[in-house]
Amino acid sequence: MELFKERRVLTVSALTALVRGLLEENFEQVWVEGEISNLACPQSGHCYFTLKDAGAQIRCVMFRNAARSIKFTPKDGMRVLLRGRLTLFEPRGEYQLVADYLEPQGIGGLQLAFIQLKERLAKEGLFSELHKSEIPKLPRKIGIVTSPTGAAIRDILTVLSRRFANVELLIAPVRVQGEGAAIEIASAIDDLNRVGNVDVMIVGRGGGSLEDLWAFNEEVVARAIHRSAVPIISAVGHEIDFTIADFVSDLRAATPSAAAELVVRSKDELTAELEALAHRLDVSQLRRLERARALVTALARAVTDPSRILGHLSQRVDSLDARLVREAGLILDDASERIVTLSARLARQSPALTLERSAERLATLSLRMDHAMIRRLACASESVGLASGTLNAVSPLATLSRGYSIVRKLPERSVVRHNSQVAPGDRLELRFASGSALCTVDASRGESESLTAPPRSV
């Protein structure tokens, strides 16, 4: 490139933008096959995954508008064929494929989606015979849900006109293929239930490829048929065509004409003028559709697709959102760990724990005090016993019991210890070990003297 013939310093953003431009210019549409891994579909509606084979891998993104068009459910390990353009996600400096089409290998995407939905609804019981109603034999009003310009409505009207021209018909015109057709069909079924007086409904269209019949394989149509209070005959495609609507309906007809034959008795056919008008309407609508399609194609080529810029911005928002979630998780983990540590420290320093330990210590000390008091009392009791024995040995009562007595001089009751304390005529009280006696002193003598006459007692 001329850009690099001379020295020119680029910023990382400028270099990345140049590489992105080169990739998008030279790889605007590529087909790649490989195995899906690391599939993630956040709430934004975008799908992120890795496409890999035995030797390499590449990041892929399918933005919301393209992801809505996928009829099957991608899963990790599924081998797929992808159509997209190569670009560069500048914030990470990684090249990636922006997919706009995806189909599984080995089995078509629509066929896989058909099988997945059929298995899921069968598990829910939508195909059970318990939920099917009997078709009335003589309906007065028939509701028809189909395209107003398709072959199916012509066939149904032809057969009904031939078999029962006077039956009242209520047609709910809908698109039977293309984007939004399934929503119109489900809404029409609900509308005919709200109208009232409709005895039976025919829901269907003419034959076509699996893609053409896909509106009748949509879940919204199946659930509308299941909740319908009016019995429904499904008439989709040819005899070999089976759709989800056929399994849910109360009765399946092989073709729209067969449905008309099943619902009423025979009447005259529709007039050729009606068929001619229907054919002219078909041609007019097809021509108008072609003109509109050509105009849309021309405008699309002239206008730069803003979805690329929006796609990159949306991808960056998803990346920042994932980063925010990770950072918030780390902060919460740190805070939770700190709370656990502080709780453990608080538990170790809890007043309740201190009180419990103090109570245990108090109980131990109280027990020790009880034992000490018992020992002290025992020692004191032993000492008291010894002192009591000693006291008894020197007690005056013990002396009196050996024949001695205590002499008190009356009236002062002073103890007489010597004969000089008394004189003849003094009154004395003698205290014995048991009892006492009163006496009068006749005479007193010293230790070497003896009394010739005993004292007189009173």
> What is the DSSP annotation of 342-382?
HHHHHHHT-HHHHHHHHHHHHHHHHHHHHHHHHHHHHHHHH
Residue 275 has pLDDT above 60, yes or no: yes
Mean pLDDT of 243-253: 90
Structural domains in the chain, CATH included, are 2-106 (2.40.50.140), 112-270 (3.40.50.10550), 397-458 (no CATH)
**Tens of pLDDT, residues 293-341:** 888 888 877 766 677 777 778 888 888 989 999 999 899 999 999 998 8
Q: Mean pLDDT over all residues of the chain?
A: 83
Residue 270 has pLDDT above 60, yes or no: no
H or E segment at 236? strand 232-236
Q: How far apart are alpha carbons 263 and 282 in whole angstroms?
A: 26
Least confident of 25-39, 145-159, 248-262, 285-299: 25-39
Residue 273 has pLDDT above 70, yes or no: no
Give the pLDDT band of residue 262 (cuts 50, 70, 90): confident
**Tens of pLDDT, residues 190-219:** 999 998 889 999 999 988 877 788 889 889
pLDDT for 66 equals 86
Residues 6+ apart with CB under 8 A from 135: 200, 231, 233, 250, 251, 262, 263
Give the pLDDT band of residue 289 (cuts 50, 70, 90): very high
Greater model confidence, 77 or 360: 360
With CA atoms as reference, report the closest residue to 307 among 319, 299, 315: 315
Residue 456 has pLDDT above 50, yes or no: no
pLDDT for 229 equals 92
φ, ψ for residue 440 (rounded to 5)?
Answer: -120, 140
Residue 183 has pLDDT above 90, yes or no: yes
In the Cβ-directed half-sphere of 354, how many Cα atoms lie within 13 Å? Answer: 4
Give the pLDDT band of residue 3 (cuts 50, 70, 90): low
Give the pLDDT band of residue 454 (cuts 50, 70, 90): low
DSSP string of 97-110, one letter each residue: EEEEEEEESSS-HH
Least confident of 268-282, 304-318, 340-354: 268-282
In terms of residues, how long is the chain?
458
Q: Which two tokens stand for residue 33?
A: 């096959």
Q: What percentage of the chain exceeds 90 in pLDDT? A: 20
**Residue 83 three-state SS:** strand
